Amino acid sequence: MMSTLVIEQIPVLADNYIYVAHDPASGATAAVDPAAAEPVLAALQRHGWRLSHILNTHHHGDHTGGNLDLKRATGCQVVGARRDAARIPGIDVEIGEGDNFLLGHAAAMVLETPGHTSGHIAFWFPDSLALFCGDTLFSLGCGRLFEGSAAEMWASLAKLRALPAETRVYCAHEYTAANGRFARLVERDNPALAARLDQVNRLTAAGRPTVPSTLGEERAANPFLRADIPAVARAVGREAGADPAEVFGELRRRKDVF
Ligand code: ZN
Ligand code: FE
């Protein structure tokens, strides 16, 4: 049975997004990366939804800070990476690469995306064209390499890049404007990037989120998904055809000190 999620986006802390995903067919409802409990409880009350699950992409506090309070308040199950079970507060269901996770009737495929952390995972709901990718992929950017190599992160991003173009990228942070300032220095002549930057400026000026974007937009404009494009390699002083993992690593190093 195919089921399409209703997704509510909740801005919290300085620049985090929590997503509450609801399957109308079954009533199942998940909080994705709840930094805090109260905003999730308020959203549940607003909609008359009952929380059945927490989905964690990784263990960082700004993604799991609400786990235990939400679990106490709702009796929900906490779903996270098997590889990170020791670091996910309150974990009940341990999952890994290729596993199917059912949120009611809505099926997700689990993708392991190490690099930002060693146990990072993403949840892909193909029927809803929704990707919850935590701190692996951002709009016009990607997560910092805290626990992984450039080659690992490039492989993780390549895995996400291969999903359908219409997929919406529900990343966990609003970093787009700052990412865009770096991206523009990498690819000055990319019309897709210029168009996206115009859109980001308009949204930001109106106080609106720039997230989600689509994977098609990111493939066309996000330099961190484009390390195998000759212009991007040349922008970081490499030859066209250089090892994309190497080009990616150099991009990431430059962004770290940008
Ligand atoms: Zn993180
Ligand atoms: Fe984060």
The mean pLDDT value for 248-254 works out to 98
Return the CATH number at 119: 3.60.15.10
CA–CA dist 218, 138 (Å, integer): 9
Q: Mark whether 62 is an active-site residue.
A: yes
Total Cβ atoms within 10 A of residue 254: 15
256 is catalytic: no
State residue 221's pLDDT score.
Answer: 98
Which range of residues forms the domain containing residue 11? 6-256
How much distance in Å is there from the Cα of 189 to the middle of ligand 1?
31
**Ligand approaching nearest to the C-alpha of 15:** 2
Q: Which of 231, 233, 229, 192 is nearest to 214 (CA)?
A: 192
Place of tokens 């590889």: 83
173 is catalytic: yes
Instruction: Flag whether 227 is in a domain.
Output: yes
For 83, the token pair is 């590889």
Flag whether 79 is in a domain: yes
Given the residues 22, 53, 59, 116, select the one marked as catalytic. Answer: 116
Is 63 among the residues known to form the active site? yes
Residue 2 has what pLDDT? Answer: 75
The pLDDT of residue 3: 84
Q: At residue 163, does pLDDT exceed 80? A: yes
Q: Is residue 1 part of a domain?
A: no
- The reported pLDDT for the residue numbered 1 is 67
Q: Is 189 a catalytic residue?
A: no
State the average pLDDT over residues 151-174. Answer: 98
Q: What is the pLDDT of residue 153?
A: 98
- What's the total number of domains in the chain? 1
Burial of 216 (0-12, 13-18, 19+ CB in 10 A): middle
